[in-house]
Amino acid sequence: MKKSEEKKIPAALIKYLESKKVNPKILEHKTVYTAIDAANTLKRKLDEIVKSLLVKADNNYYIVCLPANQNLDFDKIKKAIEKIVGVKIKTVRIPSEEMMKNLLKLRDEGMSAFGGFHELPVIAEKKLANLKRAVFSSGSFNYSVEMRAKDFLKLENAVLANFGINKKVKLINKRPASSIKIKPRANKTMPAKKKAAKKKTKAKSKKK
């Protein structure tokens, strides 16, 4: 990495990536706090942006990664973790931001997608394996990391599982249909009817 890039993301993460001989592309962008904002800012598809979540299963923590166009299915991730650890899990939840900062010793930065950097295991949605390249969180709100998806999965020794569900799109309610029924071609026949009515009126007046 160039020295000019070392200020873009946490220095400790730079060292971590360099120690793993990884040289990703650093993307600079305006301040964003969500994966959806990152997709809009970087002009990328949602499924090319990786959303990273800290998940607590009983007393253990995991970094869960999935495409930004999906939501986390808690039942499925619970089953995936149970399969990984070989024991039943009672509760799975997302810790508060304060708990996350205390656990990962964060200050002004956020959590990155790199579990090895945070000394936490990574569980990734299977769909990530189908991506050629993807954008990952660096922990900075102004810079992201782009790299080949398979390189990220290999780097983090990520366990693949199926736990993502597509986000539901809220449809705009259509305006209720009018209760007034208009007969077909009514607008075309209306002038003819008016003319016929006028003729009848004139005929009646002549008879009188």
pTM: 0.75
The mean pLDDT value for 4-16 works out to 72
Domain residue spans of the chain: 3-166
What is residue 197's predicted lDDT score, i.e. its pLDDT?
56
What is residue 10's predicted lDDT score, i.e. its pLDDT?
84
What is residue 195's predicted lDDT score, i.e. its pLDDT?
56
DSSP secondary structure, 26-61, as one string: EEE-S---SHHHHHHHHT--GGGBEEEEEEEETTEE
Which DSSP symbol is given to 206?
H
pLDDT tens digits, 105-164: 998 889 999 999 999 999 999 999 999 999 999 999 999 999 999 999 999 999 999 999
pLDDT confidence of 36, banded at 50, 70, 90? confident
Look at residues 148, 138, 134, 169 and name the one whose alpha carbon lies nearest to residue 32. 138
What is residue 23's predicted lDDT score, i.e. its pLDDT?
85
Kind of pairing between the strands at 122-125 and 60-67: parallel
pLDDT confidence of 172, banded at 50, 70, 90? very low
Q: Which residue has the tokens 């800290």?
A: 54
Sign of the Cα torsion 61, 132, 47, 36 reads positive
Assign domain 3-166 one CATH number from 3.40.50.740, 3.20.20.70, 3.90.1150.10, 3.90.960.10: 3.90.960.10
d(CA 61, CA 55): 6
